[in-house]
Structure 1
Amino acid sequence: MVSVIIPVYNDEKYLMNCVNSVLNQTYQNLEVILINDGSTDRSAALCEQLRTQDSRVRILHKPNGGVGDSRNAGLAMATGELLAFVDNDDRMEPTNLAELVDLLERCQADIAIGNFYEFGEADQTFYFRVREEDYYEKVYTPAEWFAEEYNMHFNLSQCFTVPWGKVYKRELFDQIAYPNDRAVEDDLTTWQVYLLADRIAFMNKPLNMHRKRASSVTQETNQANVYPLEAIEQRVTMMALLGMDITEELKAYRWRLKVHRDELLKSGSTNLVKYKNVVQRLRILEKAARKKPSD
């Protein structure tokens, strides 16, 4: 069985469409876990309506704690051998779970990943990033999959970071906890799950519709909140300890440091200590980059 976890917060406009796209999957051996995170609109009532319509729907109503807290609550409730996540304004293609479960089993993988397409609310346009002729499958080791982290081709970079668009073996999450005090909890967590896997299978086929909204956290003016330093510092440390190549990670770390430096300057932040710490780390990395091998 696949446990599909959907954090819900004030999304009455899209919730029914999202949940029905899961309930109407060609793969029917599933449970849908709705975590109502203190919604103040009609989302709670819609969750209850969905439960009366389908016995596979389970609900937890809780005080608002953020999407990370909701994912943790869903993980605690899950009873399936496999897990999947969906954002409450996104939509699964009808064969999503069937194709990913099949890919997982055929490749003897621990995680099966599919691509996605995007719908922009601003211009009401669907963006199909993957064509039928672009289809391929590939099985990665964790180190090989990490090499795709900053690959923008076919939007692999976002496929790497987000928790949705995947089917996972449940045991990978036995000791995983999403942070409940961060807006971009996926950047701090998803990569850890990959390191617990042995085989990661990828299918270059758009199996999810991702809704791009103006209110999304990734559209925030303050990009320092979108690209936290803590996430990349943890990755660099763990990858270095495991003997993995951190060349691209260090490039990304320098870029994030510059983002944080610029945001602190732009906001006129009075946190001089934080600004100096960011600039000092940049200077250390830039000095190391200038050094010749003979040095």
Structure 2
Amino acid sequence: MKQYDLSVIVTAHNCAQHLTSCLDSIKLALGDKFSQCEIMLINDSSTDATGDIYQQFAKGQSNVILYNVAYKNIGKVRNFGVSKAQGEYITMVDGDDQLQAGSMIEVIDFLGSHHPDMLITRLTEVRNNDVPAVSQALQPKPITTNAAIKKYLIHQAFQAHFIGKFIKRSILLHCKFPNYICYEDSFAFPEVLKSCKKIYLSATGPYLYFKHGNTLSSDISEEKIHLCRKGLDQMSLVLQGEFRFLQVCHWIEFVNRNHLTISKWKDRGSIKQNIEDVDMLPFLLHPNVRISYKRKLIKVKKLIRHW
């Protein structure tokens, strides 16, 4: 039996600079629904004041639970949070982001009245701390699983981030995150999508995604490129050829960005094969493939000729 309507999992590693604003925004976003939700604060190996800020926020609130872990691994952190959660639904918040005031009240009401497997909401990107003054009402519309997969692969309506999504805990318990330092979401999300039969998509949402500059995924290393490759392999395995040309777009982008590194790998053959197997004319004529990827395919085919 559920203990809470929603578990809000807040993850942080050395986020003290932004964490107080994040936690205050969660409380304002939930309003009078605060007690119906479990707030899980997970501090992973922080050396700044993150732990102190978490402890102060949790003080005297029985629905706020603080966990200190030493994983230094976001995949392990997410699995830990899911395993401990007691809410019917789970949503995730990064410690350097925020939620819009009052915005979670209608989300919780919607989850309770419609019982989706997953509600996907739009992320509002915030640059230079230019936070929108007023949040827009939730606009949830039903979408089929296949249509959701297609929109995910096109990467315009939403991406693999687990922030801004509200997912049944039972589904996340089944779809484990890999023990990755980044790109854990890209690996896990295709399986979550396929596991959801009742999905709603909103063109608005409560989540304020702050663009602070360097992040785990923007500071690219060869290790992270390998993890990205594993995520793409998993996508191909889980989706098994559905929307093949849209999946290929992800491989094209991967090679286009990282071809100098990949060209030195001994096991690059399968990556090359994914590109070489693309039938040019149908791909170029496909209505759902963006023109930018049609151009990049021609470029990437030239890049891999001497691999």
Q: Would the TM-score normalized by the shorter structure come out above 0.5?
A: yes
Does 2:2 align with 1:7? no
1: CA distance, partners of 2:103 / 2:200: 14
Q: Deviations over 1:202-234 (max 9, x none)?
A: 121131111111121332255983681222222
Instruction: Give every structure 1 segment of 4 or more consecutive aligned residues whose post-TM-superposition deviation is greater than 4 Å.
Output: 130-133, 221-224
More displaced stretch, 80-89 vs 220-229: 220-229
Report the secondary structure of 1:178's partner residue. coil
Give the CA deviation at 1:47: 1.4
Query: Taking every aligned residue pair, what percent have the same amino acid on both sides?
Result: 19
1:247 corresponds to? 245
Q: Could you list the per-position Cα deviations for residues 143-179 of structure 1 after superposition, in whole angstroms to 9, with x for gaps in the alignment?
A: 1101111445xx51xx331101122111112222212
User: Are residues 108 and 124 of structure 1, via their aligned partners in 2, closer, same or farther at CA, if it must alter by over 3 Å?
Assistant: closer
Question: Do the aligned partners of residues 291 and 46 (structure 1) sit closer, same or farther apart at CA in structure 2, a change above 3 Å counting?
Answer: closer
Question: Structure 1 residues 127 and 97 mapped into 2: Cα distance closer, same or farther (>3 Å)?
Answer: closer
| Alignment CA distance shift 1:278-1:94 (3 Å) | same
Q: Is the 8 A contact 1:223 1:259 kept in 2?
A: no
Between the aligned partners of 1:55 and 1:104, the Cα distance in structure 2 is 23
Alignment partner of 1:145 is 2:143: no
Distance 1:40 1:59 in 2: 16
Q: CA deviation at 1:15?
A: 1.1
**Partners in 2 of 1:84 and 1:34 — Cα distance?**
12
* Partner of residue 163, structure 1: 162
Alignment gaps of 5+ in structure 2: 284-307
CA pair 82-262 structure 1, distance change in 2 beyond 3 A: same
Change beyond 3 A, Cα 1:35–1:141:
same
Partner Cα separation in structure 2 for residue 90 and residue 291 of structure 1: 41
Q: How far, CA to CA, are the matches of 1:64 and 1:19 in structure 2? A: 22
- Letter paired with 1:192: E
Contact 2:45–2:71 under 8 Å retained in 1: yes
Q: Give the Cα separation in 1 of the matches to 2:180 and 2:223.
A: 15
Matches within 5 A, 1:32-181: 32-120=39-127, 123-126=128-131, 136-151=139-154, 155-156=156-157, 159-181=158-180
Q: Deviations over 1:95-115 (max 9, x none)?
A: 333222333344442111221
Matched residue count? 275
CA deviation after TM superposition for structure 1 residue 124, in Å: 4.1
How far did residue 75 of structure 1 move?
1.1
| TM-score (normalised: structure 2) | 0.79
Q: Do the aligned partners of residues 277 and 204 (structure 1) sit closer, same or farther apart at CA in structure 2, a change above 3 Å counting?
A: closer
